[in-house]
Amino acid sequence: MLRLYNTLSRSIEEFVPLEPGKAGMYCCGPTVYNYAHIGNLRTYVFEDILRRTLRFNGFTPFHVMNITDVGHLESDADEGEDKMEKGARREGLDVWQLARKYEQAWLDDMARLNIERPEVICRATEHVQDMIELVERLLERGYAYAANDAIYFDTSKFSDYAKLARLDLRGLQAGAGGRVQLTGEKRHPNDFALWFTNRPRHIMQWESPWGRGYPGWHIECSAMSMKYLGPTFDIHCGGVDHIPVHHTNEIAQSEGATGQPFVRYWLHGEWLLIGSEKMSKSTENFLTLASLAEKGFDPLAYRYLCLQAHYRSELRFTLDALEAAQNGLRRVYSASPERETLNDPSAFADARAEVLAALNDDLNVPQVVGLLNRYGSHRLWLEFDHVLGLDIAGRTAPDRGELPAEVAALIERRNAARRERNWAESDRLRDELIAMGYEVGDGPTGTTVRKRPV
RNA sequence: GGCGCCGUACCCAAGUGGCUAAGGGAGAGGUCUGCAAAACCUUUAUUCAGCGGUUCGAUUCCGCUCGGCGCCUCCA
């Protein structure tokens, strides 16, 4: 039985899908105006673990993820500058080129982290018509009103508005340093734009029944998730930051349009911290996967680090912690299949059940990893690598390709030196091989050389 | 101003109202080795920020204090 923490109820619930054997999930994807940082990536790793866990439990996931390639204003304030436009100017590209460039960079990062590709990856710019239709329905049903600068969602018409985030709307308005307030032509402070109009300086614009304009930043997720998954679907994921605004607004506009419950299980991933603070683009205290690779780290070492903390806990990232993860992963890869510790079928079955119970307890992957390390069974690691995604089978395969001729020659020279007990020359050649990324070991059965797995 | 989270060994990090407080890394010792590396074995918190309370019993529940942080605004 798979149990998941549902933000909606603030409790752990048994996962029962709408349709037996299936699991529909929608996860908020990247805004493609810059590289993703490893904090963003942590959330995608969590979502990947979730989809793999669903499948491990016999559910067939149908996973939808969006690409936000539509520009949005930096803030609700009228004069905010759009991130896409800002990025395009920075790089001397047009906004469309910029979006494609960072979409590809993001896909590359996902692949390097061994994150499975969702069944649907959808671009906001290719679903503008769906968004327009959704806004029309909201207008028809009286949940939206047209002003000069935008079509707004009327939060006063939606009684459950604060449900997900358990917002204290009155409290929000009382303080917040004046940040929650009436801007533009909104009727209520919490109202939000569904479709912007009369903003001639904005580059990305589309025709609509209300004139040229562009979508508000929440509407794409409602339009695309319901298009591919139906008005009600199983799981919606994202970072914890999305609870109070983005997901709250998604629920309002989706349920307002359909009159049906939107999402059954809401799951949110916690922050990656750096220097005890949230990793964030705006404060520039962030790292990319590429920058870690430059420092010699394997992307899967970062994945392994993520797996050692629970998705609902903040993870304090340091290079030391990453190095510890990489060292630990190296040992997982070098565990010898010949020394299997769980040969007895019933012992294996018991261990498997114990690990699965930990996994199904709201994805307690740190517990899973702990148990796998304790059992030290190669078979059990391989079994759960379907969920962990550490490519253990690939990295431990004995036939990792022929050694390059250059390497083979060095080994031959070293063997000759060793036969002559020329230790100085032998050690020098060994250092050379190590520098080239190989592990060199002299044992009773001779010398073994292999590429370092991590 | 409102809402909320966290504080477990040198580092990262699970966990529980009562069995030895997981696991990984690092450190220390050992086996092996020409020396190493890798691997393997052993070892490292009488204690869970502090102080009170509830309880037969609390690290785990409650309260307070100290310290760190998040959201309410674009944000994974």
Quick: pLDDT tens for A370-411: 999 999 999 999 999 999 999 999 888 765 567 788 888 989
CB of A35 closer than 8 Å to CB of A287: no
Whether complex ipTM tops 0.90: yes
Give the nucleotide at minimum CA-to-C1' distance from A321: B12
Residue A354 predicted with pLDDT over 60: yes
Q: What is the model's pLDDT at position A451?
A: 83
Which nucleotides on strand B sit less than 7 A from a protein beta carbon? 1-6, 11-15, 22-26, 32-41, 68-76
Within a 10 A sphere around the Cβ of A157, how many other Cβ atoms?
Answer: 17
Alpha-carbon separation of residue A84 from A222, A238, A242 (angstroms): 21, 21, 20
Among A367, A265, A376, A353, smallest CA distance to A311 is for: A367
Alpha-carbon separation of residue A87 from A91, A183, A438 (angstroms): 6, 25, 41
Residue with CA nearest to B74's C1' atom? A74
> How far is it, in rounded angstroms, from Cα A44 to Cα A155?
31
Within a 10 A sphere around the Cβ of A408, how many other Cβ atoms?
Answer: 12
Give the nucleotide at minimum CA-to-C1' distance from A28: B76
The gap between A389 CA and B48 C1' (Å) is: 32
Domain boundaries, chain A: 3-269, 344-397, 405-451
- % of residues, chain A, pLDDT over 70: 93
Of residues A60 and A275, the one with the higher pLDDT is A60
Judge residue A339's burial from the number of C-beta atoms within 10 Å of its C-beta, 0-12 exposed, 13-18 middle, 19 or more buried.
exposed
Residue A437 predicted with pLDDT over 50: yes
> How far is it, in rounded angstroms, from Cα A235 to Cα A176?
31
Give the nucleotide at minimum CA-to-C1' distance from A327: B25
Q: What is the model's pLDDT at position A190?
A: 86
The secondary element (H helix, E strand) that includes residue A121 is: strand A120-123
Which residues, other chains included, contact A41 with Cβ-Cβ below 8 Å and sequence gap of 6+? Answer: A109, A113, A289, A302
User: pLDDT digit string (tens) for A287-333?
Assistant: 999 999 999 999 999 999 999 999 999 999 999 999 999 999 999 99
pLDDT band per the 50, 70, 90 thresholds, residue A173: low
Q: What is the model's pLDDT at position A448?
A: 83
Residue with CA nearest to B69's C1' atom? A277
Among A351, A386, A356, A377, smallest CA distance to A368 is for: A356
Among A336, A454, A450, A434, smallest CA distance to A391 is for: A454
Angle, vertex CA A241, rays to CA A25 and CA A81, nearest 5: 105
pLDDT band per the 50, 70, 90 thresholds, residue A183: low
Residue A450 predicted with pLDDT over 90: no
The gap between A277 CA and B50 C1' (Å) is: 24
Residue A74 predicted with pLDDT over 80: no
Q: What is the model's pLDDT at position A136?
A: 97
The structural architecture, per CATH, of the domain A3-269 is 3-Layer(aba) Sandwich (3.40)
Average confidence (pLDDT) over A426-449? 86
Average pLDDT score over chain A: 89
Residue with CA nearest to B71's C1' atom? A241
Highest mean pLDDT among A42-56, A267-281, A336-350: A42-56
pLDDT band per the 50, 70, 90 thresholds, residue A182: low
Give the nucleotide at minimum CA-to-C1' distance from A434: B37
Of residues A109 and A200, the one with the higher pLDDT is A109
pLDDT band per the 50, 70, 90 thresholds, residue A352: very high
- Return the C-alpha torsion angle A169, A172, A175, A179, nearest 10: -130
Give the nucleotide at minimum CA-to-C1' distance from A332: B24
Return the residue matching tokens 């562009």: A214
pLDDT band per the 50, 70, 90 thresholds, residue A343: confident
pLDDT band per the 50, 70, 90 thresholds, residue A178: very low
Return the residue matching tokens 């695309």: A224
Average confidence (pLDDT) over A419-441? 89
The gap between A118 CA and B61 C1' (Å) is: 42
Residue A445 predicted with pLDDT over 60: yes
Q: What is the model's pLDDT at position A76?
A: 45
Q: What is the model's pLDDT at position A441?
A: 87
Residue A177 predicted with pLDDT over 50: no
pLDDT band per the 50, 70, 90 thresholds, residue A141: very high
Q: Are strands A11-14 and A213-215 parallel, antiparallel or unpaired?
A: unpaired
Average confidence (pLDDT) over A201-217? 91
Q: Within 13 Å of residue A305, how many CA atoms lie on the same side as its CB?
A: 29
Average confidence (pLDDT) over A71-77? 58
Cα first-last separation, chain A: 35
A233-239 sheet: strands from edge to edge: A120-123, A60-67, A22-27, A233-239, A263-269
Q: What is the model's pLDDT at position A172?
A: 62
Residue A78 predicted with pLDDT over 60: no
The gap between A333 CA and B45 C1' (Å) is: 30
User: pLDDT digit string (tens) for A14-49?
Assistant: 999 999 999 999 999 999 999 999 999 999 999 999
